[in-house]
Structure 1
Amino acid sequence: MASGTIDPSRTTLPSLTDGPHRKRLGVVALIATFGGLLFGYDTGVINGALRPMAAELGLNPFTEGVVTSSLIFAAAIGAMFCGRLADGWGRRKTIILLAVLFFVGTVFVVAAPGLTVLVIGRILLGLAVGGASTVVPVFLAEMAPYEIRGSLAGRNELMIVVGQLAAFVVNAIIGNTLGHLDGVWRIMFAICALPAIALFFGMLRVPESPRWLMEKGREAEALAVLRSVRSEDRAVAEMRDLERIAAEEAGETRLGWRAIFSNRNLLKILLIGVGVGIAQQLTGINSIMYFGQTVLVESGFDERAALVANIAPGVIAVIGAVIALAMMDRFDRRKTFITGLALTTSSHLLIGLASMALPVGHPLRPWVILFLVVLFVGSMQTFLNVAVWVYLSEIFPLHMRGFGMGFSVFMLWVTNGFLSLYFLSLVDAVGITGTFYLFAAVGLVALLFVWRFVPETRGRTLEELEEDVTTGAIYLLEK
């Protein structure tokens, strides 16, 4: 069977239909993706808040790195812990807990009198960000029909970049109008409380994942949820698939992490998930999103102009995410990854060449580098960011989905954390030229990894993917 095609002998579900159930599914997805919006805002706001924060609290370069990376390393822990928590406690309840963490973390940061309380607040926000990065995509993937799973689960990434763009715009407006006030950075962070409140109250009205309910033996509740977001015949047909998988697994021992690591097929898919997540981070995308203002200052903009220019990558990220959602259910994941890595690696090379050809002080240098950074972010968002989060939400069997997603995202965040901790030092040591040449070299390795090891997932239900991964058949399908 060719990759990405639907095998009619296996996929016999009734076609999707429009109606109130389809609108209900859209509302559920919108509410859940407020977790992505918070993810984006909390990771992006530091881009413009760091300089006034450092000035008020007397931070040095090391403590600036601590403040920035504390959220990211905490996100790694949150991703792992919340993945396991969502398996046992439920996707919905875990997201409600994350909303509380987002709000409490925001209060700590806004009220912080000094470094210690500030870092505690950033850690709480990091736990929430990491949890949202794991649980929300899984929840969306499990709620979605397989035909639109890519575009529905991918909405979370769209909300992430909308959140980052909102942070950049808020930073630019507040920084250029209220920048003379003490504590202006606190206003930038305080805005985060609003979507946290919306997520909390919204999730109280959202149903649990039917696949999680089925795994816990709550068949009647699972069918009721399916009937609320599917047509009647489709809900019943999907329920039969869930019952079949449950019956096949009834006699199996539930797998802990030791069993996963000792099973060749499950270990392989786990390593692929980890590899895809790390490859995404090693493009350097979040270094641009966190330190874009610094990169633009290094290229030749003054600080206030860089704050405004930094909105451009945020805008292109949102445009790219919209395009990605339109493509997600039409193009294979592997082809999307390969295209994205080829474009981002080329962008890195061009940035390195431009910084060599246009020395510091050249009037065209800042504008050319800004254009190439926008090209990089657009390529990344269109072909990689959305696709990676969708891919991680769908490749793992149900009995290890929380752990597999959590561990993969844990490694993704650890990679992100080390890049964030050392990125500015790297730019200081080897300049923009060396930094982006290094990203290009890593991009080539990632491209080879995807071409050689990453299997296709588009066009198959989660239950079919579970069978293929468990038996190893997914690695035998034509790539």
Structure 2
Amino acid sequence: MGRLKGTRLGAFRAYFFGFFVCTAGFLFGYDTGIVGGILEFDSYRNDFRYTDKTTVNAVMVSLQNVGAFIAALAIFPVSDRLGRKKTVQIAMSVFCCGVILQVVPSHSLVCFYIGRVISGFGLGAGTAVVPTYNAEMAPKEIRGMLGSGVQWLFALGVMISYWIDYAVQRTLPGQSKQWQIPVGLQLVPATVLALGLFTQPESVRWLAKKDRFDEAWASLTWMRADDGPEVRAEFAEIRAGINEEIRASEGLTKRELLEPANRYRLLLGVFLFCGQQCTGMTALAYFGPQFFKLLVGNDSSRSLLITGLFGAEKFIMVGIYILFFSEKWGRKPTLWISAILMSICFIIVAVVNNTTPKPQSEVTSSGIATVAMIFLTNSIYQFSWGPVPWPYTTEIFPTRIREIGSSVSVSTQWLFNFLFSLVTPYMQASWGSYTFLFYAALDIIMAILVWFFVKETKGRSLEEMETIFHSKAAFDVETVRHEGVPVSSSVEGIDVQHKKSHDLSE
């Protein structure tokens, strides 16, 4: 794990907050996971009375991704105006409304689709704001770990959804509850996140950006559970960074995006989330049962069981990465090396599957070998492209444009999520296991682009990113940390205990 300075209470609060807000990632993963299983249920097909399975598969997933893309791209003005905490709470409320529309027994695909779009609005907004909120509150020593928590909770959501699908498939055959229970359970984590945030502080950097320095100082000292020299130095760095951004941009926020350093960062954010989808692993998460049928034969129960094991492996592997390697391995080598390894694994899967007899109802040695290779590919992904883009695309942007930078980056994830979820069922139907070769080629391209364009950010503060990307707002961070600046115009001389009791829930 990253070595964290400060008090034990501060460490607890940092870890708790970082992983708690990543509940939005859990929702993303859970929804991703339940889709493939529900589409295999006769009860769902009977209730909604459709025959074109391929089209419904594609539309059911892609509609929510469209809603999420729109919300992620448009949420930054709301986040800038209302703050990170209130925006996430609103997003979770919208998500719950969409889930209710999906779970009611309407027997109408149109109603279900509308619910998917509305829940997509909430999910897209939440996943766009949470990484920013997390990065702005995390100590730099563990920012990568906490930021990667989105992927860990995503993997937990996928795993739980797979096993819930498997359980209702075995215990509630033919009943409407078979698909309603997996869909309706999404209300629980969304409600917990929305209500739980009432106990957590607003973003320190958002408050500082709004010139609410007393509240920002109270938020920081509560989160760190300390008000000593280290915390004062951190606050001085935050204030100096924001002041330097204002000076360099002359207050013209929209023009800041056109600065070369910021254009570069924006393109990096777009590329990394595009690359996350181009690995092929999200397509496997959505349509795992359908993919595994290609490898082990036409047995829904068996493919759902393998998909459940696939989800468990996903959760375990990303957890190992986050806890033990996220603050030891550099972001850049992790990305390009893993892309090459995943490409090799996908090529092996395609070759083996197309040079051996296709499995029917029986399990073959080639089917076992290809499933094992996909599990290995999944492990590589969970150590790299799964978790890394989440912290990277929030830590590289300066405070003044972090909302829009994060929104554009995460919206790219949803855009390509939509694209691949829409075309994957048709690729499976027409290409079969040759689909893996397509993703192998994309992995090679991504490795090359990472090698040439991605910059290393591990262990650096958010304010130091200005120097890494040669921004006009770059300043001598170490000098500021050592010399310090006043914590705020009014905090000096005021009893710190009074500040700690400041109303953090505003």
Answer yes or no: same fold by TM over 0.5.
yes
Specify whether residues 246 and 262 from structure 1 end up closer, same or farther in structure 2 by C-alpha distance, changes over 3 A only.
closer
Match in the other structure for 2:92: 99
Match in the other structure for 2:482: none
- 2:13 and 2:292 mapped to 1: Cα distance? 43
Match in the other structure for 2:453: 453
- Please tell me whether the aligned partners of residues 108 and 117 of structure 1 are also in contact (alpha carbons under 8 angstroms): yes
* 1:165-186 per-position Cα deviation (integer Å, ceiling 9, x unaligned): 1100110011111123134111
The reply on whether 1:286 has 2:275 as its aligned counterpart is no
How far is the alpha carbon of 1:15 from its aligned partner? 7.1
Letter in 2 for 1:456: E
1:186 corresponds, among 169, 180, 191, to 180
1:89 corresponds, among 78, 82, 90, to 82
The reply on whether 1:443 has 2:438 as its aligned counterpart is no
Q: How many residues align?
A: 459
* 1:176-230 per-position Cα deviation (integer Å, ceiling 9, x unaligned): 1112313411111111111111111101111011011101111001111111122
- Please tell me whether the aligned partners of residues 394 and 405 of structure 2 are also in contact (alpha carbons under 8 angstroms): no
Specify whether residues 248 and 473 from structure 1 end up closer, same or farther in structure 2 by C-alpha distance, changes over 3 A only.
closer
1:5-404, aligned counterparts within 5 Å? 16-52=5-41, 53-59=44-50, 60=52, 61-113=54-106, 114-230=108-224, 231-233=226-228, 234-251=230-247, 252-257=249-254, 259-301=255-297, 302-325=299-322, 326-361=324-359, 363-404=364-405
Larger mean CA deviation between 411-420 and 176-185 belongs to 176-185
How far is the alpha carbon of 1:247 from its aligned partner? 2.3
Match in the other structure for 1:409: 410
- Please tell me whether the aligned partners of residues 92 and 126 of structure 2 are also in contact (alpha carbons under 8 angstroms): no
How far is the alpha carbon of 1:359 from its aligned partner? 2.1
- 2:432 and 2:256 mapped to 1: Cα distance? 43
Letter in 2 for 1:103: C
After superposition, the CA RMSD in angstroms is 1.9
Specify whether residues 122 and 468 from structure 1 end up closer, same or farther in structure 2 by C-alpha distance, changes over 3 A only.
same
Specify whether residues 68 and 247 from structure 1 end up closer, same or farther in structure 2 by C-alpha distance, changes over 3 A only.
closer
How far is the alpha carbon of 1:355 from its aligned partner? 0.8
TM-score, scaled relative to structure 2? 0.87
- Please tell me whether the aligned partners of residues 397 and 470 of structure 1 are also in contact (alpha carbons under 8 angstroms): no
How far is the alpha carbon of 1:157 from its aligned partner? 1.3
- 1:353 and 1:254 mapped to 2: Cα distance? 57
Larger mean CA deviation between 104-113 and 361-370 belongs to 361-370
- 2:269 and 2:334 mapped to 1: Cα distance? 16
- Tell me the secondary structure at the aligned position of residue 199 of structure 2: coil
Pair member with larger Rg: 2
- 1:340 and 1:318 mapped to 2: Cα distance? 18
More helix by share: 1
Structure 2 runs not aligned, ≥5 long: 475-506
Letter in 2 for 1:83: F
Match in the other structure for 2:490: none
Letter in 2 for 1:289: A
Larger mean CA deviation between 237-246 and 53-62 belongs to 53-62
Specify whether residues 175 and 141 from structure 1 end up closer, same or farther in structure 2 by C-alpha distance, changes over 3 A only.
same
- Please tell me whether the aligned partners of residues 39 and 160 of structure 1 are also in contact (alpha carbons under 8 angstroms): yes
